[in-house]
Structure 1
Amino acid sequence: MKKLFAIAIAGVLMTSCVSNKKFAELEDQYNTTKEELKTAEMKLSACEDEKKSIRESYESQIKTLQNTNAALLNTTGEMVTISKTAATNLERSLESMQEKDLQIKTMRDAINKKDSVTLALVTSLKGALNNIDDEDIQISVEKGVVFVSISDKLLFGSGQYKVTNEAKAVLAKVAKVVNDKKDFEFMVEGHTDTDPISRTNIEDNWDLSTKRATAVVRILQNEYNVDPARMTAAGRGEYVPVASNDTAAGKAKNRRTRIVVLPKLDQFFGMIEEGMKTAK
């Protein structure tokens, strides 16, 4: 994904169609949230390991005490009581296990909530676009990020960056969904095949892909009232293909506009942080 952003930023710098500052902020946000997610996952793993270690220690102590009790009963016939120190240690072990269980539950609840929000978004998008041919528009989820890929034959004419009237109907449906989901930001990416472009008003495929992304963003903003602060336009050129450019079918798949829906992960980690405070 880092490579994806690096290429996106390079595209923007070459075409000057997207704010350098906006891309830098987006990359910083993504890198930060990715590191935070990695840290949270490491903490969750550590909690699981610590819980297992405490449980094993607790079971070992119980077994030792049981053996001691049996030996004393065999030799003296008297009931043995657990010493005050042993009882205190057992109590602390149980309290520690309960605390770790609560912390793990808090992390799982936060992850489940984020996944539920993402699932709701995907369901809404598929419901809004259920009458669109799968070859023209595809919706997928990768690592909690939702991708909406729209073929250029639906959005634009060959070598053009003016959005067609047919495509506006599709963008209207997408806009309705994202306007209802305020917890998401998104990036509109333009992609091309490897065929060189030769038009007086388009310098190269970098230029074409960025112009197409910007055209979609303008439609969403000006005609469907999507908040521009939630959007970023990016040109990826021919450098992130999804199929081989050696065939006409492969090139058709590569000529696409992709809407990358980004969850506000600061809210997700904020929920984990609040849960941890409660667990202490």
Structure 2
Amino acid sequence: MKRIFTILILLMCISISQAQSKKDLILEVDGLRSKLREAETALSESKREERIASAKVESYEAQVNELKETNSNLLKNLNSFTEASNKRSDHINSTLESLVQKEAQLRVINDALSSHDSITLAVFTQFKQTLGSDPKITVSNGAVAVVMDNSYIFGENSKNFKVQDKAEAIIAKIGSILKANPTMDIQIVSNSNLVESKDNKLNNWEIGTQQAAAIARILESKYQIEPKRIVATGKSELGLYSIETATEIIVQPRFYEFFKLVKESMK
């Protein structure tokens, strides 16, 4: 009996021990399940945060790429602007250099014109002071013109081309002024329209040319005026003077030298 009681107690202890172990296991399982749920929740939260982080990373990468592209475009634009600015600067420098050259050229031309004008004015003044109010002295287009009536120079005979003694006095004064201004060219234009014939124009041209040549010979032989400076021209009734017969001594700077100077300065 005692043995049976002992066995029963042993069985009860075993049963109680098993019951306690089962309860502990259930509690442990519940605890593990709770931890598993927490772990799953944490994992889900981690995945969500990972997605958010990935989205942010992609956004940042997109922004970085956009910034890189913008920066690249800005650099290209800056390079283009710098290149264009350099070209404009080169063009401006070239233009300024060209303007400086043109200014220098214009200065040379202006100085030459001023020099010619000064010489012309000086010759005009010399004629006025030396010849007085008679004969007629004018300035036009950079040239000085001394106009004398042919009847005074050659006499009343309209066909005559020999200079009278009284006219040589004025021609002597003109010759001295021309000799003192060796850079001036001389044109002698004699106009004749009094001869009447079947061919007036031809006769008057010939007479006018002979009269102009007669004055040219005097300037050359008596007053040592270089013949290459002189051009003698005859006019008829279609010439410079349609009414009176007259001779015009035109004195002007050597414009071919001026044009040569302009041509050289424009190179």
- Common fold, TM-score beyond 0.5? yes
Contact 1:136 1:154 in 2 (8 A): no
Contact 1:125 1:174 in 2 (8 A): no
Q: 2:128 corresponds to which residue?
A: 129
Cα distance in 2 between the residues matched to 1:180 and 1:95: 47
- Describe the shift of the 1:123–1:93 C-alpha distance in structure 2 as closer, same or farther (beyond 3 A): same
Q: Is 1:90 paired with 2:125? A: no
Shift of 1:216: 0.5
Equivalent positions of 1:85-164 (< 5 A) are 85-105=83-103, 106-130=105-129, 132=131, 134=133, 136-142=135-141, 144-158=142-156, 159=158, 160-164=160-164
AA at the equivalent of 2:249: I
Cα distance in 2 between the residues matched to 1:217 and 1:87: 66
Count residues in correspondence: 183
Q: 1:177 corresponds to which residue?
A: 177
Q: 2:222 corresponds to which residue?
A: 223
AA at the equivalent of 1:209: G
Cα distance in 2 between the residues matched to 1:81 and 1:119: 57
RMSD over equivalenced CA pairs, Å: 3.0
AA at the equivalent of 2:195: P
Listed one character per residue, the Cα deviations across residues 200-242 of structure 1 (whole Å, up to 9, x for unaligned) are xxx8322321221011011101111111122122211221244
Contact 2:191 2:246 in 1 (8 A): yes
Shift of 1:197: 5.0
Q: Which secondary structure does the structure 2 equivalent of 1:204 belong to?
A: helix
Cα distance in 2 between the residues matched to 1:230 and 1:212: 18
Q: 2:190 corresponds to which residue?
A: 190
Between structure 1 and structure 2, the one with the greater Rg is: 2
Sequence identity of aligned pairs in percent?
A: 22
Cα distance in 2 between the residues matched to 1:269 and 1:102: 21
Relative contact order, higher structure (CA 8 A, sep 6+): 1
- Describe the shift of the 1:184–1:132 C-alpha distance in structure 2 as closer, same or farther (beyond 3 A): closer
Given candidates 240, 249, 262, the residue that maps to 1:272 is 262
Cα distance in 1 between the residues matched to 2:149 and 2:87: 65
For structure 1, the 5+ residue unaligned runs are: 1-79, 246-250
- Describe the shift of the 1:131–1:227 C-alpha distance in structure 2 as closer, same or farther (beyond 3 A): closer
AA at the equivalent of 2:191: H
Q: Which secondary structure does the structure 2 equivalent of 1:223 belong to?
A: helix
TM-score (norm 2): 0.58
Listed one character per residue, the Cα deviations across residues 19-48 of structure 1 (whole Å, up to 9, x for unaligned) are xxxxxxxxxxxxxxxxxxxxxxxxxxxxxx
TM-score (norm 1): 0.55
- Describe the shift of the 1:146–1:85 C-alpha distance in structure 2 as closer, same or farther (beyond 3 A): farther
Shift of 1:275: 3.0
